[in-house]
Amino acid sequence: MKDILSLFFAYARSGLKSRFQYKVDAVVVIFAVFFREAGGIIAMYLALQKFGSINGWSIDELLFLFSLIFITYGIFIVFFMALRDFSDWIKHGDFDRVLLRPRGVLTQLVLCGADWLAAFGHGTLGLVLLIISANRVGVEWNVQTVLYYLMCVIGGVLIQGAVFLTFSSITFYVLETNSLKEIFYWNMRKFAIYPLSIYNKFIQAILIFVVPFAFVNYFPAQFFLQKPDMAAYPAWFMFITPIVGIVLYLAAYAFWRFSLRFYKSTGN
């Protein structure tokens, strides 16, 4: 474990030096990511000035819901960026280099693929939304709620990591999985930024049981907000985000180990 941490910090230092070699450009990219994502939230905010709420969720409560998506994604692309773009690693022959190194394949991919600029952009937006909304919706921070929040963030990161680890495993069979990612991650992520209860049962089932984004933000947010629409779901859903994340990641890892044996190099 000490070795892996040492390797992570070595990769982190190298990645940060590389990204911030041109400081002005790096800062511009961070702000570009920040304002690109913030644009959709601002549009939603302006729309809700007229309608007031969505299924009983106020603007501030929605901002709190959004904050979990952006914070977990900001951390996710520090550790799982290589998995997000894994088909490119295979098509360009970069994965062959990973196989030749004296480290675990997945360990290398997790440690070396960080997109620090996008992580700062998404993460900063998530923190800004959290700071703005948490006080307004009456979140009381104490040891219990802080620990719960941190565990849910870790669980949310693992859930998204498991999704992309599954896509990466499928890449060994079909090489290109961008269409699957578009359907089952990016589109589902757009659904997940709003309350689960506004959708029909089919979409709800997908967000709970297929691509469980509901455990990334909706159910953790319900722990703090206690909205009436939570009555439609089992109360214990609010507490199992870390378990869902661990179970899904272990299942995805088992699929990865099985699929790795079918890898065939595309050359370069």
Spatial separation of the C-alpha atoms in residues 189 and 68, rounded to whole Å = 12
Mean pLDDT of 201-220: 95
Confidence of residue 176 (pLDDT cuts 50, 70, 90): confident
Contact 158/248 with Cβ under 8 angstroms? yes
Spatial separation of the C-alpha atoms in residues 208 and 199, rounded to whole Å = 12
* Residue 54 β-bridge partners: 57
Residue 217 or residue 84, greater confidence:
217
How much is the pLDDT for 224? 95
The token duo for 180 is 């699957």
The token duo for 222 is 């319900």
Contact 163/184 with Cβ under 8 angstroms? yes
Mean pLDDT of 19-43: 85
Amino acid at 227: K
Confidence of residue 233 (pLDDT cuts 50, 70, 90): very high
- Closest by CA position to 160, among listed 131, 129, 189: 189
Burial of 229 (0-12, 13-18, 19+ CB in 10 A): middle
How much is the pLDDT for 240? 97
Contact 102/94 with Cβ under 8 angstroms? no
Residue 22 or residue 203, greater confidence:
203
Residue 131 or residue 16, greater confidence:
131
pLDDT in tens, 47-82: 777 777 888 899 999 999 999 999 999 999 888 888
Which residues, 6+ apart, have CB-to-CB distance to 31 below 8 Å?
121
Residues in the chain: 268
How much is the pLDDT for 155? 97
Spatial separation of the C-alpha atoms in residues 189 and 210, rounded to whole Å = 13
Mean pLDDT of 116-145: 92
The token duo for 108 is 């290398």
Q: The pTM is what?
A: 0.91
| pLDDT exceeds 80 at position 6 | no
| pLDDT exceeds 60 at position 219 | yes
pLDDT in tens, 245-268: 999 999 999 999 999 988 887 765
How much is the pLDDT for 3? 67
